[in-house]
Amino acid sequence: MVSKTEETQLSNLENQVDNGGGGAWEFLCLVRKLKVRRSEMVLKHGLSILRDPKKRSSLGPEEWTLYEQVAIAAMDCQCLNVAKDCIKVLHKKFPESKRVGRLEALLLEANGSWEEAEKAYSSLLEDNPLDQAIHKRRVAMAKAQGNMSGAIEFLNKYLEIFMADHDAWRELAEIYVSLQMYKQAAFCYEELILSQPMVPQYHLAYADVLYTLGGLENLQTAKKYYASTIDLTGGKNTRALFGICLCSSAIGQLSKGRNKDDKESPELQSLAATALEREYKQIAPDKLSLLTTALKSLKVSA
Amino acid sequence: MGGDSRYEIAQDAYVKLILHALKHKASAVNGLLLGRVFPQNDVVEITDSVPLFHSHIGLLPQLEISLLLIEEHYAAKGINIVGYFHANERYDDYELGGAAKNIGDHIYRYFPQAAVLLLDNKKLEALPKSRDWSPVMQLYTRDASKNWKPAGSDGSSQLNIREPSANVVLLDYISTEKWKDVVDFDDHLDDISKDWLNPQLFK
């Protein structure tokens, strides 16, 4: 996760570099450290350092790190010739390196030579069966070819070995959501909540999936997880506040005419609605009347 | 039935949707089409659009909230939701996916001439060279058997842009990186000070 201060630092540096104020190397280092995707900027400014022999040699051994960084950025920008040149330099310097081998496989992948890339990755995995990055490339390759069931299969296999990889669980959940396989997505979010119970995003996503699944029981559980999202964010989550209102309305409709025990107390919904109105009044006053009408229509239908 | 209607999209509505897709190149995005129908000549005028989401497109809560607020805003002006725009996650994916069809179905229930537009990446990429005036989107309409079918396979164009120079304007905006300024409903839910109406975008 990138913190707010890091984000500001990055965007300040980005502006400075883009306006010719220097600091390109610091920017490139920060991008690497934060693992953010700024491929166009990295390609432009990384390449200008690499093309200037004086600047390049002043980096010392970091030169090779930059070649690697620029190669990956170039592939992301479809500048495959630049990537090829960078990888060639690296291959000459480190002929036996697995890390360079990984880049070469990546280039095959970028070219759309799926079979050759698959072969390259397989042989790299033989040397090191626990190379997480390569397992992930195979998932990405399946996805790039539109083979979603293959991607799911690779991810599930990967998660059998690396159960604690939260990003992988999240990726799997998102694939399931995109395929409208909501029950499976819910399972992934349950895993994530179990292993990291204090992350509000997981509570929110779980509630969203349950609401999408529908049915009284799911809606009631969804409402609880929206409530815990609000709790974990100190009341500052617009999506969860809306979620409470939606759930209350849907539960109200479903439990019409049922006995009292199934009925919801209206308190939570009013609280959420009030919090939303307060937020909009303060931050987006021009949308307040719109919000009030929408909330009213949710209440009436409940 | 939307089968025989013709659709005319205004330049701003058209450009906004494509800029939104370009802002989030690595993910699927969607948006709403707003306008009105002229029954006498069976033309649906798409006068505006609202960029919706760039994440979790298959989830209902955010969609329901956005529909509620957007519908309410435009109803006051006599404008309705008349269709749906979708751009796939993968560049070479030309299928209209399940989530997109479901959202289309939902809109169809309230507006039987609903249009679904799918971004055509190849046509978009070729624009600087092709100088094509036609929209870089594929129109889908719902047929009698309730399937979404690509329109115009017989060569007739059911979808037109009102301003013929829209693609030139679009290319200009792309080169000046105008897409950076597009705000969608996702952005609004993360920070409600961001306005999904994008009032400043074409100023």
Number of independent structural domains in chain B: 1
* Closest partner CB to B98 (pick from A180, A211, A212): A180
* Closest partner CB to B90 (pick from A144, A174, A242): A144
pLDDT the model gives residue A194: 96
* Closest partner CB to A246 (pick from B57, B64, B192): B64
Verify whether the Cβ–Cβ distance B98 to A211 is below 8 Å.
Answer: no
Dihedral Cα B142, A148, B33, A297, nearest 10 deg = 100
- Cβ contacts of A144 within 8 Å, gap of 6 or more: A109, B90
Q: What is the pLDDT of residues A57-102, one digit of tens each?
A: 999 999 999 999 999 999 999 999 999 999 999 999 999 999 999 9
**pLDDT level of residue B1 (50, 70, 90 thresholds):** very low
User: How many CB pairs below 8 Å do chains A and B form together?
Assistant: 74
Residue B26 lies in a domain: yes
Mean pLDDT, range B129-143, rounded to an integer: 92
Residue with the bigger pLDDT between A139 and A263: it is: A139
CA distance B130 to B39: 35
Interface test with A, best of B24, B29, B60, B186 (most A CBs within 10 A): B60
pLDDT the model gives residue A38: 93
In A, what residues contact B, Cβ < 8 A? 143-144, 146, 174, 177-180, 182, 205, 207-209, 211-212, 238-239, 242-243, 246, 279-280, 283-284, 286-287, 290-291, 293-294, 297-298
Q: What are phi and psi of B91, to 5 degrees?
A: -60, -45
pLDDT over 80 (residue A121): yes
pLDDT over 70 (residue A209): yes
Q: What is the pLDDT of residues B39-66, one digit of tens each?
A: 888 999 999 999 999 999 999 999 999 9
Residue B196 lies in a domain: no
Q: What is the pLDDT of residues B57-99, one digit of tens each?
A: 999 999 999 999 999 999 999 999 999 999 999 998 999 999 9
Verify whether the Cβ–Cβ distance A211 to B61 is below 8 Å.
Answer: yes
**pLDDT level of residue A224 (50, 70, 90 thresholds):** very high
**pLDDT level of residue B131 (50, 70, 90 thresholds):** confident
Dig out the tokens for A110 from the structure.
Answer: 């970028």
What CATH code is carried by the domain that includes residue B21? 3.40.140.10
CA distances from B90 to A144, A179, B117, B173 (A): 7, 14, 16, 23
pLDDT over 60 (residue A262): no
Mean residue pLDDT across chain A: 93
pLDDT the model gives residue B162: 95
Dig out the tokens for B184 from the structure.
Answer: 């969608």
CA distance B37 to B43: 6
CA distance A287 to B38: 30
* For chain B, the helix, strand and coil percentages under 3-state DSSP, each to the nearest 5: 35, 25, 40
Residue B199 lies in a domain: no
Mean pLDDT, range B120-143, rounded to an integer: 93
ipTM exceeding the 0.85 mark: yes
CA distance A192 to A203: 9
Residue B104 lies in a domain: yes
pLDDT over 70 (residue A2): yes
pLDDT over 80 (residue A130): yes
**pLDDT level of residue B151 (50, 70, 90 thresholds):** confident
Look up the domain containing B15 and give its range: 6-190
CA distance B184 to A123: 44
**pLDDT level of residue B203 (50, 70, 90 thresholds):** confident
Residue B198 lies in a domain: no
Shortest Cα–Cα distance, A57 to chain B (Å): 34
pLDDT over 70 (residue B154): no
* Closest partner CB to B73 (pick from A246, A279, A290): A290
Dig out the tokens for A96 from the structure.
Answer: 């036996």
- The H or E element spanning position B68 is helix B60-75
Q: What is the pLDDT of residues B8-18, one digit of tens each?
A: 999 999 999 99
Residue B95 lies in a domain: yes
pLDDT the model gives residue A3: 83
**pLDDT level of residue A255 (50, 70, 90 thresholds):** confident
**pLDDT level of residue B4 (50, 70, 90 thresholds):** confident
Q: What is the pLDDT of residues A19-41, one digit of tens each?
A: 888 899 999 999 999 999 999 99
Min mean pLDDT across A79-93, A234-248, A261-275, B102-116 is at: A261-275
pLDDT the model gives residue B28: 96
- pTM, entire model: 0.91
Verify whether the Cβ–Cβ distance B61 to A242 is below 8 Å.
Answer: yes
Residue B201 lies in a domain: no
Mean pLDDT, range A140-164, rounded to an integer: 95
Verify whether the Cβ–Cβ distance B99 to A242 is below 8 Å.
Answer: no
Q: What is the pLDDT of residues A5-23, one digit of tens each?
A: 998 999 999 999 988 888 9
Interface test with A, best of B29, B54, B59 (most A CBs within 10 A): B59
**pLDDT level of residue A133 (50, 70, 90 thresholds):** very high
Reference A125, options A158, A76, A87; nearest CA is A158
CA distance A288 to A281: 6
